[in-house]
Copies of this chain bind each other. A is one copy, B any other.
Amino acid sequence: MDQNNTILGTGISGPGNPVYGSELAKISIVESASLALTEALLNSDISQELKLNDICAGIGLAGVNLPHVYDEMIKWQSPFKSIYLTTDIHIACLGAHEGHDGAVLISGTGTCGLSNVKNHSKIIGGHGFPQGDKGSGAWYGLNAVEAVLLALDEMAPPTTISKYMCQVLKASTAEEIISKVAGKPASFFACLANTVFSALEDKDEVALAIIDEGASYISKMARLLLKTTPPRISFIGGLAEWIIPYLDQDIQKQLSSSLFPPEAGAVFYARHQTASLK
Protein backbone atom coordinates (compact mmCIF):
# COMPACT_ATOMS: atom_id res chain seq x y z
CA MET A 1 0.00 0.00 0.00
CA ASP A 2 1.26 3.50 -0.69
CA GLN A 3 0.93 6.48 1.65
CA ASN A 4 -2.58 7.17 0.28
CA ASN A 5 -3.63 3.63 1.18
CA THR A 6 -3.89 2.54 -2.45
CA ILE A 7 -3.13 -1.18 -2.62
CA LEU A 8 -0.16 -1.79 -4.92
CA GLY A 9 0.16 -5.55 -4.62
CA THR A 10 -1.34 -8.57 -2.89
CA GLY A 11 -0.26 -12.18 -2.44
CA ILE A 12 -2.01 -15.34 -1.31
CA SER A 13 -0.18 -18.42 -0.06
CA GLY A 14 -0.83 -21.48 2.14
CA PRO A 15 -2.06 -21.84 5.74
CA GLY A 16 -0.82 -19.20 8.17
CA ASN A 17 -2.11 -20.44 11.53
CA PRO A 18 1.03 -21.17 13.60
CA VAL A 19 -0.97 -23.33 16.04
CA TYR A 20 -1.08 -25.97 13.29
CA GLY A 21 2.56 -25.55 12.30
CA SER A 22 4.76 -22.50 12.77
CA GLU A 23 7.20 -23.51 10.01
CA LEU A 24 4.42 -23.74 7.44
CA ALA A 25 3.04 -20.39 8.65
CA LYS A 26 6.47 -18.78 8.15
CA ILE A 27 6.76 -20.21 4.62
CA SER A 28 3.26 -18.92 3.81
CA ILE A 29 4.03 -15.45 5.17
CA VAL A 30 7.26 -15.13 3.16
CA GLU A 31 5.63 -16.46 -0.01
CA SER A 32 2.59 -14.19 0.19
CA ALA A 33 4.78 -11.16 0.95
CA SER A 34 7.07 -12.00 -1.99
CA LEU A 35 4.08 -12.26 -4.32
CA ALA A 36 2.71 -8.93 -3.07
CA LEU A 37 6.11 -7.26 -3.46
CA THR A 38 6.55 -8.58 -7.02
CA GLU A 39 3.12 -7.26 -7.98
CA ALA A 40 3.76 -3.90 -6.29
CA LEU A 41 7.07 -3.48 -8.12
CA LEU A 42 5.40 -4.18 -11.47
CA ASN A 43 2.48 -1.84 -10.81
CA SER A 44 4.36 1.19 -9.51
CA ASP A 45 7.46 3.26 -9.91
CA ILE A 46 9.11 1.88 -6.75
CA SER A 47 12.81 1.15 -7.27
CA GLN A 48 13.30 -2.46 -8.43
CA GLU A 49 15.98 -2.78 -5.76
CA LEU A 50 13.42 -3.15 -2.95
CA LYS A 51 13.72 -6.52 -1.23
CA LEU A 52 12.02 -8.29 1.72
CA ASN A 53 14.79 -7.19 4.06
CA ASP A 54 13.97 -3.54 3.32
CA ILE A 55 10.45 -4.12 4.63
CA CYS A 56 8.91 -3.77 8.10
CA ALA A 57 6.22 -6.45 8.04
CA GLY A 58 2.92 -6.15 9.89
CA ILE A 59 1.67 -9.67 10.55
CA GLY A 60 -1.74 -10.67 11.91
CA LEU A 61 -2.09 -14.32 12.84
CA ALA A 62 -4.63 -16.54 14.55
CA GLY A 63 -3.32 -18.20 17.69
CA VAL A 64 -0.73 -15.61 18.73
CA ASN A 65 -2.98 -14.66 21.64
CA LEU A 66 -1.50 -17.82 23.20
CA PRO A 67 1.81 -16.85 24.82
CA HIS A 68 3.77 -19.92 23.67
CA VAL A 69 2.62 -19.40 20.06
CA TYR A 70 3.52 -15.69 20.19
CA ASP A 71 6.97 -16.51 21.62
CA GLU A 72 7.61 -19.11 18.92
CA MET A 73 6.78 -16.61 16.14
CA ILE A 74 8.45 -13.53 17.58
CA LYS A 75 11.80 -15.39 17.83
CA TRP A 76 11.69 -15.99 14.07
CA GLN A 77 14.84 -14.97 12.17
CA SER A 78 12.68 -13.66 9.32
CA PRO A 79 13.85 -12.34 5.93
CA PHE A 80 12.14 -9.01 6.75
CA LYS A 81 13.87 -5.94 8.17
CA SER A 82 11.59 -6.30 11.18
CA ILE A 83 8.27 -7.91 12.04
CA TYR A 84 5.34 -6.53 14.03
CA LEU A 85 3.16 -9.38 15.20
CA THR A 86 -0.43 -9.23 16.41
CA THR A 87 -3.66 -11.24 16.19
CA ASP A 88 -5.80 -11.75 13.08
CA ILE A 89 -8.72 -10.05 14.84
CA HIS A 90 -6.62 -7.03 15.80
CA ILE A 91 -5.63 -6.36 12.16
CA ALA A 92 -9.25 -6.92 11.13
CA CYS A 93 -10.27 -4.18 13.56
CA LEU A 94 -7.51 -1.82 12.38
CA GLY A 95 -8.49 -2.49 8.76
CA ALA A 96 -12.19 -1.88 9.34
CA HIS A 97 -11.44 1.55 10.84
CA GLU A 98 -8.51 2.65 8.62
CA GLY A 99 -6.05 2.15 11.46
CA HIS A 100 -8.06 4.16 13.99
CA ASP A 101 -9.87 3.16 17.17
CA GLY A 102 -13.03 1.12 16.79
CA ALA A 103 -14.68 -2.24 17.38
CA VAL A 104 -15.39 -5.24 15.15
CA LEU A 105 -17.76 -8.17 15.29
CA ILE A 106 -16.63 -11.11 13.18
CA SER A 107 -18.70 -14.06 12.07
CA GLY A 108 -17.02 -16.41 9.62
CA THR A 109 -16.13 -20.01 10.44
CA GLY A 110 -15.87 -18.74 14.05
CA THR A 111 -17.08 -15.68 15.95
CA CYS A 112 -15.15 -13.06 17.85
CA GLY A 113 -15.50 -9.45 18.97
CA LEU A 114 -12.80 -6.88 19.66
CA SER A 115 -12.73 -3.25 20.61
CA ASN A 116 -9.59 -1.18 20.45
CA VAL A 117 -9.98 2.19 22.17
CA LYS A 118 -7.15 4.40 23.47
CA ASN A 119 -4.71 1.49 23.54
CA HIS A 120 -7.09 -0.61 25.58
CA SER A 121 -8.45 -3.69 23.91
CA LYS A 122 -11.33 -5.92 24.93
CA ILE A 123 -11.88 -9.30 23.30
CA ILE A 124 -14.99 -11.49 23.49
CA GLY A 125 -15.45 -15.03 22.19
CA GLY A 126 -13.21 -16.74 19.67
CA HIS A 127 -13.21 -19.90 21.78
CA GLY A 128 -13.35 -22.37 18.89
CA PHE A 129 -15.61 -25.19 17.79
CA PRO A 130 -17.67 -26.86 19.18
CA GLN A 131 -17.23 -25.35 22.67
CA GLY A 132 -17.62 -21.71 21.55
CA ASP A 133 -18.12 -19.56 18.45
CA LYS A 134 -21.88 -19.14 18.85
CA GLY A 135 -23.39 -17.34 15.87
CA SER A 136 -20.58 -18.50 13.54
CA GLY A 137 -20.86 -20.49 10.32
CA ALA A 138 -19.71 -23.64 12.10
CA TRP A 139 -22.23 -23.06 14.92
CA TYR A 140 -25.10 -22.51 12.45
CA GLY A 141 -24.07 -25.62 10.51
CA LEU A 142 -23.90 -27.77 13.66
CA ASN A 143 -27.25 -26.47 14.90
CA ALA A 144 -28.75 -27.23 11.49
CA VAL A 145 -27.51 -30.84 11.62
CA GLU A 146 -28.82 -31.22 15.19
CA ALA A 147 -32.24 -29.86 14.23
CA VAL A 148 -32.49 -32.17 11.20
CA LEU A 149 -31.52 -35.26 13.22
CA LEU A 150 -33.97 -34.38 16.01
CA ALA A 151 -36.73 -33.87 13.44
CA LEU A 152 -35.99 -37.20 11.72
CA ASP A 153 -36.33 -38.88 15.15
CA GLU A 154 -39.61 -37.00 15.74
CA MET A 155 -37.96 -35.56 18.84
CA ALA A 156 -38.46 -32.00 17.56
CA PRO A 157 -40.71 -30.27 14.99
CA PRO A 158 -40.07 -30.99 11.30
CA THR A 159 -38.01 -28.36 9.52
CA THR A 160 -37.34 -27.53 5.89
CA ILE A 161 -33.66 -27.31 6.83
CA SER A 162 -33.81 -31.10 6.26
CA LYS A 163 -34.54 -30.59 2.56
CA TYR A 164 -31.55 -28.28 2.04
CA MET A 165 -29.28 -30.41 4.25
CA CYS A 166 -30.04 -33.55 2.23
CA GLN A 167 -29.32 -31.64 -1.00
CA VAL A 168 -26.00 -30.24 0.21
CA LEU A 169 -24.82 -33.51 1.75
CA LYS A 170 -26.33 -35.73 -0.99
CA ALA A 171 -27.89 -37.78 1.82
CA SER A 172 -31.41 -39.05 2.36
CA THR A 173 -31.40 -40.75 5.79
CA ALA A 174 -30.18 -39.89 9.28
CA GLU A 175 -27.47 -42.56 8.91
CA GLU A 176 -26.19 -41.00 5.70
CA ILE A 177 -26.18 -37.52 7.22
CA ILE A 178 -24.27 -38.77 10.25
CA SER A 179 -21.70 -40.64 8.19
CA LYS A 180 -21.07 -37.45 6.16
CA VAL A 181 -20.66 -35.09 9.15
CA ALA A 182 -19.07 -37.35 11.81
CA GLY A 183 -15.72 -36.07 12.98
CA LYS A 184 -15.66 -33.16 10.53
CA PRO A 185 -13.89 -29.87 11.42
CA ALA A 186 -15.46 -26.44 11.94
CA SER A 187 -14.83 -25.45 8.32
CA PHE A 188 -17.01 -28.35 7.12
CA PHE A 189 -19.91 -27.42 9.40
CA ALA A 190 -19.56 -23.78 8.29
CA CYS A 191 -20.37 -24.94 4.73
CA LEU A 192 -23.76 -26.13 6.05
CA ALA A 193 -24.74 -22.74 7.54
CA ASN A 194 -26.56 -21.71 4.37
CA THR A 195 -29.12 -24.52 4.89
CA VAL A 196 -30.54 -22.57 7.85
CA PHE A 197 -30.75 -19.31 5.93
CA SER A 198 -32.27 -21.09 2.90
CA ALA A 199 -35.04 -22.46 5.13
CA LEU A 200 -36.08 -18.88 5.95
CA GLU A 201 -37.60 -18.68 2.47
CA ASP A 202 -40.09 -21.30 3.69
CA LYS A 203 -40.75 -19.22 6.83
CA ASP A 204 -39.37 -22.20 8.76
CA GLU A 205 -39.85 -21.67 12.53
CA VAL A 206 -36.97 -23.96 13.52
CA ALA A 207 -34.55 -22.09 11.26
CA LEU A 208 -35.77 -18.75 12.54
CA ALA A 209 -35.19 -19.83 16.17
CA ILE A 210 -31.63 -20.94 15.37
CA ILE A 211 -30.87 -17.72 13.48
CA ASP A 212 -32.26 -15.62 16.31
CA GLU A 213 -30.19 -17.44 18.92
CA GLY A 214 -26.96 -16.82 16.98
CA ALA A 215 -27.89 -13.22 16.17
CA SER A 216 -28.80 -12.52 19.77
CA TYR A 217 -25.30 -13.65 20.83
CA ILE A 218 -23.79 -11.20 18.30
CA SER A 219 -26.08 -8.37 19.50
CA LYS A 220 -25.01 -9.03 23.07
CA MET A 221 -21.34 -9.06 22.05
CA ALA A 222 -21.90 -5.69 20.30
CA ARG A 223 -23.53 -4.29 23.43
CA LEU A 224 -20.55 -5.25 25.61
CA LEU A 225 -18.09 -3.78 23.09
CA LEU A 226 -20.11 -0.53 22.82
CA LYS A 227 -19.58 -0.02 26.56
CA THR A 228 -15.94 0.71 25.71
CA THR A 229 -17.21 3.70 23.58
CA PRO A 230 -15.52 2.84 20.26
CA PRO A 231 -15.91 5.67 17.66
CA ARG A 232 -17.08 3.08 15.10
CA ILE A 233 -18.25 -0.55 15.13
CA SER A 234 -18.31 -2.86 12.07
CA PHE A 235 -19.59 -6.38 11.51
CA ILE A 236 -17.38 -8.37 9.12
CA GLY A 237 -16.89 -11.98 7.95
CA GLY A 238 -18.76 -14.27 5.57
CA LEU A 239 -21.90 -14.54 7.73
CA ALA A 240 -22.23 -10.83 8.57
CA GLU A 241 -24.58 -9.86 5.71
CA TRP A 242 -26.86 -12.81 6.50
CA ILE A 243 -27.04 -12.08 10.23
CA ILE A 244 -27.31 -8.27 10.21
CA PRO A 245 -31.11 -8.21 9.55
CA TYR A 246 -31.62 -10.34 12.71
CA LEU A 247 -29.55 -8.20 15.08
CA ASP A 248 -31.36 -5.96 17.56
CA GLN A 249 -32.58 -2.83 15.71
CA ASP A 250 -30.52 -0.40 17.80
CA ILE A 251 -27.35 -2.43 17.10
CA GLN A 252 -28.05 -2.53 13.36
CA LYS A 253 -28.31 1.26 13.33
CA GLN A 254 -24.91 1.68 14.97
CA LEU A 255 -22.98 -0.47 12.49
CA SER A 256 -20.52 1.28 10.17
CA SER A 257 -19.18 -0.34 7.03
CA SER A 258 -15.67 -1.75 7.11
CA LEU A 259 -13.22 0.65 5.41
CA PHE A 260 -10.36 -1.72 4.57
CA PRO A 261 -9.82 -5.49 4.63
CA PRO A 262 -7.85 -7.16 7.47
CA GLU A 263 -4.65 -7.31 5.38
CA ALA A 264 -4.63 -3.51 5.18
CA GLY A 265 -4.97 -3.54 8.98
CA ALA A 266 -1.63 -5.36 9.15
CA VAL A 267 -0.05 -2.50 7.17
CA PHE A 268 -1.65 0.07 9.52
CA TYR A 269 -0.28 -1.91 12.46
CA ALA A 270 3.27 -1.90 11.05
CA ARG A 271 3.02 1.86 10.38
CA HIS A 272 1.84 2.54 13.97
CA GLN A 273 4.63 0.45 15.39
CA THR A 274 7.41 1.95 13.29
CA ALA A 275 6.06 5.47 14.01
CA SER A 276 5.98 4.83 17.75
CA LEU A 277 9.62 3.65 17.63
CA LYS A 278 10.82 6.86 15.99
A: residues with CB less than 8 A from B are 65-66, 124-125, 127-128, 130-132, 134, 142, 145-146, 149-150, 153-155, 174-175, 178-179, 181-182, 217, 220-221, 224
Contacts and interface: CB of A to CB of B under 8 A. Distances in A.
Contact of A149 (B66, B131, B149, B178): B131
Contacts of A178: 127-128, 131-132
Given A131-B146, A132-B149, A145-B131, A124 B179 contact: no
Contacts of A132: 146, 149, 178
> Which among A66, A131, A149, A155 has the greatest number of chain B C-beta atoms within 10 A?
A131
B224 A181 contact: no
B224 A155 contact: yes
Contacts of A66: 175, 179
- 10 smallest A-B Cβ distances: which pairs? A130-B130, A131-B145, A127-B149, A124-B153, A132-B149, A127-B178, A128-B182, A131-B181, A131-B146, A155-B220
Nearest to A156: B220
Nearest to A189: B131
Contacts of A155: 124-125, 217, 220-221, 224
A142 B142 CA distance: 13
Contacts of A124: 153, 155
A131 B146 CA distance: 5
